[in-house]
Amino acid sequence: MAGYWNRPELTATTLRDGWLATGDLGERDSDGLLRIVGRRKEIIRTGGMSVQPSEVVEALMEHSSVQDVHVFGLPDPEWGERVCAAVVLHAGEQVQPEQLIQHCRRVLSRHKVPKQIQFVPQLPRSHYGKVQQAKLLEILETGTTAGKT
C-alpha cells in the first residue's frame, strides 16, 4: 500500500517505516504461525492495567452454562474503564452473574475479572459474524436481565 488517496495525514499515522499498522494484535504459536488475538483499540484499560477482552471471553466460555459472550469496557470514574460482559446462556441454563464472576476469579488475574455481567438472548452480529457493540449497548440500555457487582 502506498497510502490513502488524498489523505496524507491518515497515511502518515497508518504507514510506519513502510509497514501498514492495522491495529491488530497477534501472537506466534509453537509452529511460528501468527494468530490474530484482538485489536489494539479493544484493549480495556482499568486501574492502569491492560485487559485483552479475548482472555476474559476464553475464561467465561469455559463455564458450562455459557454459549456465547462479548467482553467490553465501559467508562468508570475511578478505574478509567471497567470490564463488562454480555453473556448468552445455553437453552435451559440458569446461572447468576456472581457465579460467573467467581468462576473468572479462579482463572483470571484480579483486574481482568468482569465487574458487570449482563445476560442477553443473543449477541447482535454483522453479516461477517462480528459483534455489533453499538447495537449491543443499545440492547443493554433498554433493559434485559442484568447483573452488576
Cβ-count burial 18-50 (b if 16+ within 10 Å, e if not): eeeeeeebeeeeeeeeeeeebeeebebebeeee
Does the pLDDT value for residue 76 go beyond 80?
A: yes
CATH class, range 1-39:
mainly beta
Residue 138 has which C-alpha cell? Answer: 443499545
User: Start-end ranges of CATH 2.30.38.10 in the chain?
Assistant: 1-39
Neighbours of 3 (CB within 10 A): 13
Question: Is the Cβ–Cβ distance between 47 and 79 less than 8 Å?
Answer: yes
pLDDT digit string (tens) for 90-137?
999 999 999 999 999 999 999 999 999 999 999 999 888 889 989 999
Q: How far apart are CA 18 and CA 20, in angstroms?
A: 7
pTM confidence score: 0.72
CATH number listed for the domain at residues 43-148: 3.30.300.30
Where does CATH 3.30.300.30 sit in the chain? 43-148
